[in-house]
Amino acid sequence: MWNTALDRVLSHLVRQGELSVTYPDGSVRRYGNGAPRSSVHLKSPSLPRRLVLTPQMALGEGYMDGELTIDGDDLRGFMDLIVRNAALNGLPGPQRLFEILRRMGRRLAQFNPAPRSRRNVAHHYDLSGELYDLFLDADRQYSCAYYPRPDMTLEEAQEAKKHHIARKLLIAPGMRVLDIGCGWGGMGLTLARDYGAQVVGVTLSREQHAVATRRAQEAGLSDKVRFELMDYRNVRGPFDRIVSVGMFEHVGVPHYREYFAKVNDLLTPEGIALIHTIGRTTPPGATSPWITKYIFPGGYCPSLSETMEAVELSGLGSTDVEVWRLHYAETLKEWLRRFEANEDRARALYDERFCRMWRFYLLASEYTFRHAGQVVFQMQLSRAQEAVPLTRDYLYPVPDAGSRKLAAE
């Protein structure tokens, strides 16, 4: 029964490329035709049923547990084929119904009061610091890099991201800046060292707080940067500037109005905020249950429509919205390359199942950006219409004559 049901699902789903599936009873069926091609083996008798009823959860767990194997362990080729076809053809009727039900329950799943937010953050960000050293840049920027040139290294692209954001913030020396979700401190340290800001960074991760505080001391910037183990809802202002990179995904839809109301309350009348978040070009949806269980509990990547509704009700105005499309796909591709190069060390920290989980997470995320409408939004916000220049020219300064001459040589 369930083999037949899965056969119908895959016949609907796979139309570009070819997928060969060996079922638990040994039968082999092929879907689609042409390149690219991928061959998978379903080892567990329960897997066809789970793939029909909970496809995202079953796919991730099946790969983690070795119940679903891929010829040549070519997870990249398989994910490219599946995500591309899912984006083009959608899911058949029963799966669409399950998706609708998940969307209906998302407000409960994303209810993130402070105690729950702390638990959610600890689940991911308090993993061993050695793990993040295996695939991030030295500054531990765990968010989308910015590639104004395709030949940039990860380190160069992460530096470009920070300085692009700093230009949007129009920081002058001495300004008070709040960094909501400061991570391991890289953004705050950059704004203090290179732009003369007085920075307060807040995080709910004990591991990140300890590292960020130590980095500020080692850099001799403790008089300019202070990192606090604190929920953003408990911060007191005012601040001239607010920056938040990769934290809004953890706020939760029920808290959007609360979040932007707090940003508004913390800003000075002429202040500027820059919110950098993963989002979706599709209508509001729900987070993959596999991602919720294993990677980011309580997390959600919003559509611009549901985000801007909360902004408009907060008293803030949008002075600029920029959409980064494939920058995160390239970032994730490089993170995976580095992780796989250091996988023996990751396996020593955790185990083989964890490594398969992490590989699946990075690759599934990359292809969601490539084929399934996931992007990054940068929202520049202020109460004052004249807080920023009227054109974007200030973001792309023209090199002076000396710089142009050196570049030509």
Tell me the three-class secondary structure of 176-218, residue by residue: EEEEECCCCCHHHHHHHHHHCCEEEEEECCHHHHHHHHHHHHH
Q: What is the pLDDT of residue 339?
A: 98
Residue 399: is it exposed, middle or buried by C-beta count within 10 angstroms (0-12/13-18/19+)? exposed
Report the pLDDT averaged over residues 54-74: 95
Same domain, 267 and 301: yes
Report the pLDDT averaged over residues 143-158: 97
Same domain, 34 and 147: no
Same domain, 54 and 143: no
**Partners of 324 in the beta sheet?**
376
Q: What is the pLDDT of residue 325?
A: 95
Task: Express each pLDDT in 3-56 by its tens digit.
Answer: 999 999 999 999 999 999 999 999 999 999 888 899 999 999 999 999 998 999
* C-alpha–C-alpha distance, residues 286 and 109, integer Å: 9
Q: Would you say residue 401 lies in a domain?
A: no
Task: Express each pLDDT in 231-241 by its tens digit.
Answer: 999 999 899 99
Same domain, 241 and 296: yes
Same domain, 85 and 147: no
Most distant CA atoms of the chain, gap in Å: 73
Same domain, 287 and 149: yes
Identity of residue 88: L
* C-alpha–C-alpha distance, residues 213 and 192, integer Å: 14
* C-alpha–C-alpha distance, residues 316 and 384, integer Å: 8
Q: Which domain holds residue 24?
A: 2-104
Q: Would you say residue 267 lies in a domain?
A: yes
Same domain, 205 and 352: yes
Q: Would you say residue 208 lies in a domain?
A: yes
**Residue 357 reports pLDDT greater than 90:** yes
Same domain, 184 and 48: no
Same domain, 46 and 129: no
Q: Would you say residue 55 lies in a domain?
A: yes
Domain stops at, among 104, 127, 162: 104
